[in-house]
Chain A
Amino acid sequence: MLLKQRTILPGFNLSLGFTLAYLGLIILIPLGALILKTFEMSASQFLGILSAPRTVAAFRLTFGAAAVGASLNLVFGLLIAWVLVRYDFAGKKWIDSLVDLPFALPTAVAGIALTAAYAPNGWLGQHFAALGIKTAFSPLGVTIALTFIGLPFVVRTVEPVLQDLEAEVEEAAASLGANRWQTFSRVIFPTLVPALLTGFALAFARAVGEYGSVVFISGNMPMKTEIVPLLIMTKLEQYDYHGAVAIAVGMLIVSFMLLLFINLLQWWSRRKA
């Protein structure tokens, strides 16, 4: 018997049975095919694909741009959360709702909108071009797209913590002679650290796998602006299944390590709280 205790509630077998069957059909069997295909390869073949210069360049760009984007969102996400929780200004409710736009907007739409805005003749791109900075169709363009896609995470993890912060703690700090900056850096900031790290990791993980918003703005030049998901796509279009599978598995391993890290972080922050 799977159940740990007796209960009078009905439907355990039915609901768990359906859950497992559906999970198996939609998620586990398809992912199993990926693993099966991986074991068709020899270890040297697998490692050879992953260590090819083009693959390494794609991994470096994807993880580098995702890290820069998530870092930008770490700083500005905290700022946005702070402003939305602490201050009153016109249109605040609207802006608060719009922060979630990257979740709700289809990535392809985000991709072409960012490309149009940051292209050399675009609304924003022309100002950067005047300064000699190439935004779209460069690694910077990839970073812009990955920043967009990770924008809501830090805001949404930090906001509830800031809301729950007791005003008394800050008043105590102030009455003990701390100035505003000391109160922030020594009292408020440390309580935000777990939420900030969680938001950062979520934004980073999301950005690593992102495809739709990046393909338009990146220009997709191999070795220069080609991200990992696009490389998988390219291998697939050339019917190089093994190449696609090896790179996909390499990426999955990294994603799972990230997921583990996020769960550890949340466990740690729950224990602290």
Chain B
Amino acid sequence: MVEPAKSLSGDKTMAGGVTSKLALKRRSSAAGRVIGEPAVIRWLLIGAALTYLGLFLFVPLGVIFVTAFQKGAAFYLASLTEPDALAALRLTLLAAAIAVPLNLVFGIAASWAIAKFDFHGKNFLLTLIDLPFSVSPVVSGLVFVLLFGAQGLWGPWLREHDIKIIFAVPGIVLATMFVTFPFVARELIPLMQSQGNEEEEAAIMLGANGFQMFWRVTLPNIKWGLLYGVILCNARAMGEFGAVSVVSGHIRGLTNTLPLHVEILYNEYNFVGAFAVSSLLVFLAFVTLGVKSFIEWRFGNQLAESEGS
């Protein structure tokens, strides 16, 4: 299941999207007098919604920052710059730097094949691409242990050749690739489907080669959807905990990603340190949400409707 994306699909051109939104706004404000709720009910509903969000979002978010700075800015900075934290940051960036581009290439290839061509077994392929969304993160890690672990399928062979995958960096990268696998493809497939084949066909008929067609026609059409998918993929890659936790072995300075480093600090009762490192990840989440909101606001009509699965 993909994270439901909020989007205003339908109109193909920007101008069309803007007018239709304006028209909608005008109409609803005129109609508001006839079909709206009394002010008291309105404020009660807003209050209830905000209370719920407060209990589950705002207060926990506040706790992070207040605790992170409890022992002052110097301690905060020290928590972020100690060697183990820096090693964890490097590994997190490395895993994302491998997983995101590979899944990006996969996303483009899969969406090109699925959206532009009609072939047998397409729906089955779509279901397979969605698989990682319905697998618990812990199970995502478990399957790699079954393959590469000491008692795994290929464990003895790997040991003979002195290759370490589980409890080492390759396992972490593989687990990250597994959980972030569908993100870009899931965003691009409906988008490319909604755009049809005409523009690419025109390019080919006018003599463009495959690369020129992709670079000049397809890519400009999908770039915002692509960025949208990449930003969600990256957030998951950098934040993944369960799957990575299974394959990492929690070796400090070697196989700890930032989320695993947070867990270790927390379990050692170094709460302030744990929240200080967490604040970095919250910052990443804010950047993700910011870029996501910006794309939805500015280019919402160019994104595909991908709510639901």
Contacts and interface: CB of A to CB of B under 8 A. Distances in A.
A49 to B, nearest CB: 14
B77 interface: no
A245 B142 contact: yes
Contacts of A110: 60
B181 interface: yes
B307 A245 contact: no
Binding site secondary structure of chain A: helix
Given A167-B31, A248-B142, A211 B308 contact: no
B197 interface: yes
A107 B177 contact: no
Interface in B241-300: 241-242, 245-246, 258-260, 262-263, 266, 271, 274-275, 278, 281-282, 284-286, 288-290, 292-293
A228 B142 CA distance: 13
B258 to A, nearest CB: 8
A9 B53 contact: no
Interface string B114-146: 101111110001001111101111110011111
B153 interface: yes
Contacts of B35: 167, 170-171, 174, 180, 183
Contacts of B116: 7, 9, 12
B271 A116 contact: yes
Interface residues of A, number: 110
B219 interface: no
Interface of A: 2-5, 7-12, 14-16, 18-20, 22-23, 26-31, 33-34, 36-37, 76, 79-80, 82-84, 86-87, 89, 93, 95-110, 112-114, 116-117, 122-124, 144, 147-148, 151-153, 156-157, 159-160, 163, 167, 170-171, 174, 180, 183, 198-199, 202, 205-206, 208-212, 216, 228-230, 232-233, 236, 239, 241, 244-245, 248, 251-252, 255-256, 258-259, 262-263, 266
26 contacts: A7-B116, A9-B201, A10-B213, A12-B113, A16-B119, A18-B106, A26-B177, A26-B178, A31-B135, A33-B147, A33-B152, A34-B139, A95-B53, A101-B61, A104-B288, A105-B281, A108-B241, A112-B266, A148-B57, A183-B35, A208-B136, A209-B137, A211-B241, A241-B151, A251-B139, A252-B135
Interface of B: 1, 3-8, 24, 27-28, 31, 34-37, 42, 45-46, 48-50, 52-53, 55-64, 67, 102, 105-106, 108-110, 112-114, 116-121, 125, 128-132, 134-139, 142-147, 151-153, 174, 177-178, 181, 197, 200-201, 204-205, 209-210, 213-214, 232, 235, 238-242, 245-246, 258-260, 262-263, 266, 271, 274-275, 278, 281-282, 284-286, 288-290, 292-293, 305, 307-309
